[in-house]
Structure 1
Amino acid sequence: MSSQEDEQTSSSPNSTKENIIDHVDSFVADMTSLCLNEPYSDVEFLVEDQRLPAHRLVLATRSEYFRAMLYGGMCESKQREVQLEVPPEAFKAILRYLYSGTLNISTLGEEGIIDVLDLAHLYGLQNVETGLVKYLQQNLDVSNVCMILDIARRSNLNQRTEDCLTFMDVNGPDIVKHETFGKLSKVSLEELLARGSFWAPEIDIFRAVCKWRDNNPSEDIKTVAALVRLPLMSVRQLLHVVRPSGMFETEQIFDAIDQVDTGNDLPHRAVVLPAENVAFGESLARRFEFSPSCEILELRNLFVINCIEFLYQRCGMVHADVSCNHTHWDRVGSTQCEAGRKFNFKKRPVRYIRFVKPHLDTVVFNVRATYSE
């Protein structure tokens, strides 16, 4: 091809953006200006005490739900006025999205986000629903995680669901005491309680299940109750809290008491945080001396670990023990080396770590308790 032909090709009307008239911004602005305005409107939504004008063509183009309502032969397709039982502000936010393609989440507030989420699901606005759930996910809190979990499950957002469950694993003691726990769907509740990594004191889990039962009287409680791990409670709790509830048969309670007494094969729950030191920072509840020759670390939760590393001063024997309940202890290592030691053992749930020091002036410090695959 000659240089002249090259020049002609490069200057072709379709070859550069300079030859495209682009007024997308003004087009969007014009469309947005139609929202909630009377000119050219051909339908009015009656929401509580408000009359909200709209345009059938716009709504039907943007939402299959409104297409079916306004053009699908339903009674609303022949009416100028359509009565809706929806939150007014949330509905107006949905209308603004349908006209403009944008939704300013920061202006909604938490309750407003929930209302808009419900409407987005109702109207089949998957992009809005996904975006709102993602926003909430980035701002997960004890007060909203139960609600977000239900929404994520309902919308088949598998990664969002798993993120919620992981957050609940780590914050179990606060989750079960929050009022929103009683509003969980039965499916979400059963999935959560079945997780071995969801930890809270079992008596608190039981009390939360009782409140859930009171909030959901029409639901069958048996499948939920079956997920409460009775042997993880004390004998006193089983006799004086669980038994009077009537949720379990007497035989079930006595079987649990037998298992508590032996301490064998208890169905422990424990949080799994791979590679994270759970004997430090927020994961460590307290550090105390049980006796002059014994130092104990209490972890904030029951954690799965398979490695303990520590440094100590004073040459002498140091034994490392672990326990779930401060009653039954297992020795995971002993050392007479100076300075420090690392013990690897089979993964197990641990709440307490005990260092037994025959030499009373031995000082243990810089403890790391971790789990790795």
Structure 2
Amino acid sequence: MMFVCFIALIVLKSTPAFSSSTGHASSSSNPVGPEQINHAHLMEIDYSQLYLNKKDSDVILVVENTRFYAHRNVLASRSVYFRALLCGGHKEAGQKEVPIKERSATSVKVLLQYIYTGRINLSTLESKVVVDLLILSNVFGFTNLQFSLCEYLWSKIDVSNVSTLFAVALYYQIKEFEVKLFNFINIHALDVLESKDSLSLTPKALLLILKHNTAYTNELDIFRVVCQWIKKKKNELDPEAKTKILCAVRYQLMNDEELSEVKRSDLVRSNRNILDVIQLRLDSLPQEYSDRGRLEPNVNFAVGTPNKLSQIDGGTMIMLGHPSNINYIEMELSNKQAIYYTYYIEVSMDGQDWLRVLDHSNYHCRSIQRLWINRIFVRYIRIIGTNNTSNKTFNFLKVMYNTDKLHLVEIKNGLVGKENTFLFLEYYKKYDICLMR
């Protein structure tokens, strides 16, 4: 029995220990915590007495020259994959010994323990075994186990292991986990790319990061770490992959001094295509190569420093501490003497050129305003009152990229037009926000 695991073999060679935690809250129904997986209550029959029982075994799984005695009926009852393999038309159905290639004996033994007992103690396992279990749970169709392993790994996420996990989630299409990891990478892009674990990234995974607008960091720094990554992976990359990766850097965001350093680089000087790309970017500045903006889900930029709030002619303006992607503004119409408020909202990157993203000039508005807009990259936000009966001041309560029920809403002029469950699927198909068109 053989399945495609090439990427897993690469990333598991250098998988670091999961020694730190982000403190993310767990949503698991597992009552004993993420380190102690206990799904025994989901099993119709307790098979624990048969675990590695040689006497009653009718099939042997052979892994790395290690033989595990098992039972076809048990494996088939717990996994659709094993049911098809051992009880269907495959040659393994008639074999006493079934080889499992490109997997570790340790991880297969732990998986068998889960199959027979519904339990695993993750705290006793090395990190590479846990990652291997994640792959096995995906390949063999153990959905509940996969979910619990993703929760456990997420609780240990940091810049030293996120690349390995992202490469695995991307390759095995573990979509929800993939999206969470991708968002983490974008927030910590430079630290992730500078880490040793970044060598676990495939060219495809690295390109996804580089092409996204939310890997917010200095572009010259991105170019430097990309060059380091290419040099360390030079024996694994073909010329086309190197060119694609170097072309994904946004050279038009660099100043003359930074571009001078780029053009002196050995990787650029020796590649005429890269030099042509740089010149094309400088000449055209196409929309798909816009500025990068930080994507920090559910972080409220309206509170704390270094934001600057100021009253302007006809309204209120906030300058964010750094350019950011937002899709939600919540504000309070604080002047109780006003019968109603009308207003519009504009955004800008430089405080000079403004784009109107919402216009409620013809709406009578009161109290708290909860406003959705299509995701946009901004530094300045201003609210301008129109036709108001008195003081035109506005209180920013929230400015953020809001993911709460985002996948269920359709936006029409700052209002939730209708629920749209299809958007949920779109959110997990893309790394961009589902409402972005």
TM bin (shorter chain): 0.5 to 0.7
Q: Which has the higher helix share?
A: 1
Residues of 1 paired with 2:157 and 2:209: CA distance?
17
**1:232 paired to 2:253:** yes
Q: Do structure 1's residue 244 and structure 2's residue 260 form an aligned pair?
A: no
Q: Assess if the C-alpha contact under 8 Å between 1:150 and 1:184 holds in 2.
A: yes
- Within-5 A mapping of 1:59-138: 59-85=75-101, 86-138=103-155
1:1-373 matches, cutoff 5 A: 31-85=47-101, 86-214=103-231, 215=233, 216-218=236-238, 220-242=241-263, 243-246=265-268, 247=271, 248-254=273-279, 267-273=290-296, 276-277=300-301, 302-303=323-324
* Per-residue deviation, residues 6-42 of structure 1 (Å, max 9, x unmatched): xxxxxxxxxxxxxxxxxx98x9896112111212012
Deviation at 1:275, TM superposition (A): 5.7
Task: Tell me the CA shift for residue 159 of structure 1.
Answer: 3.5
Q: CA deviation at 1:171?
A: 1.0
Shift, 1:97, TM fit: 1.3
| Percent of aligned pairs sharing the same letter | 28
Give unmatched runs, 5+ long, in structure 1.
1-23, 285-296, 308-322, 333-346, 352-367
Closer, same or farther: CA 298–234 of 1 in aligned 2, 3 Å: farther
Is the CA contact 1:36–1:52 (under 8 Å) kept in the aligned structure 2?
Answer: yes
Please state whether the residue corresponding to 1:82 is helix, strand or coil: strand
User: Is the 1:172–1:199 Cα contact (8 Å) retained in structure 2?
Assistant: yes
CA RMSD of aligned residues (A): 4.2
Q: 1:231 to 1:349 in 2, by over 3 A?
A: farther
C-alpha separation in 2, matches of 1:206 and 1:279:
33
Counting matched residue pairs gives 287
Q: Kindly indicate whether structure 1 or structure 2 has the higher relative contact order, using CA contacts under 8 Å at least 6 residues apart.
A: 2
Structure 1 residue aligned with 2:17:
none
Partner SS for 1:143:
coil
What letter is aligned with 1:118? I
Letter in 2 for 1:245: L
Deviation, structure 1 residue 114: 0.6
In the TM superposition, what is the alpha-carbon distance from 1:330 to its structure 2 partner?
5.7
Q: Displacement of 1:55 after TM fit? A: 1.1
* Post-superposition CA distance 1:153-203 (Å, at most 9, x none): 445444333322221222112111112223223443333222212112212
Alignment TM-score, normalising by the size of structure 1: 0.62
* Structure 2: distance between partners of 1:78 and 1:303: 59
C-alpha distance in 2 between matches for 1:157 and 1:80? 32
Deviation at 1:272, TM superposition (A): 3.7
**What is residue 5 of structure 1 aligned with on the other side?**
none
Cα deviation, residue 129, structure 1: 1.9
Letter in 1 for 2:300: E
Distance apart, 1:220 and its partner CA: 3.0
What's the counterpart of residue 383 of structure 2? none
What is the letter of the counterpart of residue 48 of structure 2? T
**1:29–1:330 CA distance, 2 compared to 1 (3 A):** closer
- 1:309-364 Cα distance to aligned partner (Å, 9 max, x none): xxxxxxxxxxxxxx99xxxx8679xxxxxxxxxxxxxx86559xxxxxxxxxxxxx
Q: How far 1:209 moved relative to its partner?
A: 3.0
Report the CA distance shift for 1:75/1:211 in structure 2 as closer, same or farther (over 3 A). farther
Match of 2:405 in 1: none
Task: Return the letter of the residue paired with 1:235.
Answer: D
Higher alpha-carbon Rg: 1
Q: State the secondary structure of the residue aligned to 1:176.
A: helix
Report deviation, 1:54. 1.0
Distance change >3 Å, CA 53–CA 241, structure 1 → 2: same
2-structure distance, mates of 1:209, 1:141: 20
| Alpha-carbon displacement from aligned partner over 1:105-145 (angstroms, at most 9, x marks no partner) | 33323221111112222222233223212322233211222
Relative to 1, partners in 2 of residues 1:71 and 1:258: Cα closer, same or farther, differing over 3 Å?
closer
**Preserved contact between residue 133 and residue 148 of structure 1 (Cα < 8 Å):** no
Deviates more, 1:224-233 or 1:85-94: 224-233
CA distance in 2, matches of 1:350, 1:197: 14
CA–CA separation in structure 2 for the residues paired with 1:369 and 1:60: 52
The amino acid across from 2:267 in the alignment is S
Residue of structure 1 equivalent to 2:9: none
Tell me the distance in 1 between the aligned counterparts of 2:46 and 2:175. Answer: 38
